[in-house]
Structure 1
């Protein structure tokens, strides 16, 4: 795990996204359909390969009806 604060936020967001997916029982394809975020972007966020922009985070949160941003806990 990186010591960079931004990397820690991205990792925490990815973990929250993975947990929300598991709890919902949705596939990445279903989340993509519901959120309007591409499957590739979702997969890259889950893999920690990209730091999502605010619109992506907001779209994912809206689809789930819950927050994903880790806040000040990281």
Structure 2
């Protein structure tokens, strides 16, 4: 469970967090960064459409351990 965007990102649910100084009026550089980041995320998703990257996040180890133990018992 995540209570803020930074913790949410550590769960492997976001590909990246961007620091946009003024989201209401982004600069050309900010827009280019967003476009590049989105394109990279799309490319990554097309390369591997599984949930491995999300489920493999460091702080999801306990969840992975529980899933492994449940599979072993079933």
Larger Rg, first or second structure (1 or 2)? 2
TM-score relative to the length of structure 2: 0.33
TM-score relative to the length of structure 1: 0.33
Structure richer in helix, relative to its length: 1
